[in-house]
């Protein structure tokens, strides 16, 4: 089996890569704060903002491919911690790109739909980036620097993801379920539109992309939905009432970071390569049936 170096192995996406691909790849999963213990995966604790540590890891492991999924993804935290989040979201992926270029190995960098301003959806790979918050700015800058340093790198822009989070993280569905179960009010935006995708579908798309050479690929879902519409569907499928769900607009909630309104991704190119995400309802049914969320 080929040796895969996976950063962000303790996150939602990384854990699902480990879970779904450990039988086909020798996965070395890197985490920073949460040492991982996954059957069939070799865990490593590395500070990816430390260039010496990262370079030493590459020399020891000699990976045949790299998926860089590690990131500071809390949009509000990034807005308020620009310097620290820049080291994580921009400098680390750039340094890893340089290491992959030295060895001429496949490098896949995970980016985000938040590189767009939400004013002209849906967005294709050739549309200009136009971020409205620090996190989006950092992802856009990282894309630019990675592509310049290693033109063969593949950049995958992902939307909002849901799925089994594993033992180390929490997706956005799990807190929603907890709020519904407890009867707490759950405010959800009606004017934030995304193309959500299950983590399982995202993993399959990523490994399709890993076979490509260079460029950007969008891995969005097939449906454009608001957070509120997603919440209504989840509440119905999980058997909770809708009493606690409160429709609101972005302007109703004071947040450190502004959000784009509609960053729907046009994933036509990925669909043509065989990427086939499931319907949100079907994926949620499967998640609720297999995961102890209720």
Residue 129: inside a domain: yes
Residue 274: inside a domain: no
Helix (H) or strand (E) holding 256: none
For tokens 């060895």, the residue is: 103
Round the average pLDDT of the chain to a whole number and report it.
95
Do 105 and 179 lie in one domain? The reply is no
- Which token pair is 61? 């492991």
Do 250 and 142 lie in one domain? The reply is no
CA distance 174 to 178: 6
Do 202 and 191 lie in one domain? The reply is no
Is pLDDT of 291 > 80?
A: no
Helices 51-61 and 92-103: crossing angle in degrees, nearest 10, is: 30
Residue 69: inside a domain: yes
Residues of the domain holding 238: 170-195+223-264+279-290
**Three-state DSSP class for residue 19:** helix
Residue 272: inside a domain: no
Which of these, 80, 68, 18, lies nearest to 43 by C-alpha position? 18
Residue 270: inside a domain: no
Q: In this predicted structure, what is the pLDDT of residue 105?
A: 98
* Three-state secondary structure of the chain: CEEEEEECCCCHHHHHHHHHHCCCEEEEEEECCCCCCCCCEEEEECCCCCHHHHHHHHHHHCCCEEEECCCCCCHHHHHHCHHHHHHHHHHHHHHHHHHHHHHCCCEEEEEEHHHCCCCCCCECCCCCCCCCCHHHHHHHHHHHHHHHHCCCCEEEEECCEECCCCCCCCCCHHHHHHHHHHCCCEEEECCCEECCEEHHHHHHHHHHHCCCCCEEEECCCCCCEEHHHHHHHHHHHHCCCCCCEEEECHHHCCCCCCCCCECCECCHHHHHCCCCCCCHHHHHHHHHHHCCCC
Do 283 and 156 lie in one domain? The reply is no
Confidence of residue 294 (pLDDT cuts 50, 70, 90): very low
Residue 75: inside a domain: yes
If you average pLDDT over residues 238-255, what whole number do you get? Answer: 91
- Which token pair is 255? 């947040």
Do 78 and 206 lie in one domain? The reply is yes
Number of domains in the chain: 2
Residue 252: inside a domain: yes
For the CA atoms of the chain, what is the radius of gyration? 18
pLDDT in tens, 111-122: 999 999 999 999
If you average pLDDT over residues 143-166, what whole number do you get? Answer: 96
Do 156 and 89 lie in one domain? The reply is yes
Do 83 and 137 lie in one domain? The reply is yes
Do 149 and 9 lie in one domain? The reply is yes
pLDDT in tens, 34-56: 778 888 999 999 999 999 999 99
∠ CA 97-16-221, nearest 5°, is: 85
Do 135 and 113 lie in one domain? The reply is yes
Do 102 and 201 lie in one domain? The reply is yes
Do 62 and 78 lie in one domain? The reply is yes
Residue 273: inside a domain: no
* CATH number of the domain residue 184 falls in: 3.90.25.10
* CATH number of the domain residue 79 falls in: 3.40.50.720
What whole-number percentage of the chain has pLDDT above 70? Answer: 99
- Dmax (CA) for the chain in angstroms is 56
Do 18 and 65 lie in one domain? The reply is yes
- The 10 Å Cβ neighbour count of residue 121 is 20
CA distance 254 to 72: 21
Is pLDDT of 224 > 50?
A: yes
Confidence of residue 293 (pLDDT cuts 50, 70, 90): low
């Amino acid at each position: 089996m080929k040796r895969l170096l996976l950063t962000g192995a303790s996150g939602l996406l990384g854990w699902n890569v480990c879970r779904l691909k450990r039988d086909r790849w020798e996965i070395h999963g890197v985490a920073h704060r949460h040492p991982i213990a996954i059957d069939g995966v070799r865990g490593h604790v590395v500070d990816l903002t430390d260039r010496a540590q990262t370079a030493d890891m590459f020399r020891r492991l000699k990976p045949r491919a790299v998926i860089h999924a590690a990131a500071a993804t809390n949009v509000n935290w990034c807005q308020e911690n620009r310097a620290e989040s820049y080291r994580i979201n921009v400098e680390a992926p750039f340094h890893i790109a340089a290491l992959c270029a030295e060895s001429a190995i496949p490098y896949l960098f995970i980016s985000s739909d938040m590189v767009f301003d939400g004013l002209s959806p849906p967005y294709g790979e050739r549309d200009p980036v136009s971020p409205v918050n620090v996190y989006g700015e950092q992802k856009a800058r990282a894309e630019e620097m990675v592509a310049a340093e290693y033109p063969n790198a593949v950049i995958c822009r992902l939307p909002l993801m849901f799925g089994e989070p594993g033992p180390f993280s929490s997706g956005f569905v799990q807190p929603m379920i907890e709020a519904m179960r407890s009867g707490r009010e759950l405010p959800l935006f009606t004017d934030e539109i995304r193309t959500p995708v299950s983590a399982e579908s995202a993993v399959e798309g990523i490994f399709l992309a890993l076979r490509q050479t260079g460029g950007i690929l969008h891995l969005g879902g097939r449906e454009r939905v608001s957070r509120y519409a997603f919440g209504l569907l989840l509440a119905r499928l999980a058997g909770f009432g809708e009493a606690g769900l409160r429709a609101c607009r972005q302007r109703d909630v004071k947040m450190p970071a502004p959000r784009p309104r509609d960053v729907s991704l046009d994933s036509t190119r990925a669909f043509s390569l065989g990427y086939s995400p499931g319907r949100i309802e079907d994926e949620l049914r499967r998640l609720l049936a297999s995961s102890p969320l209720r």
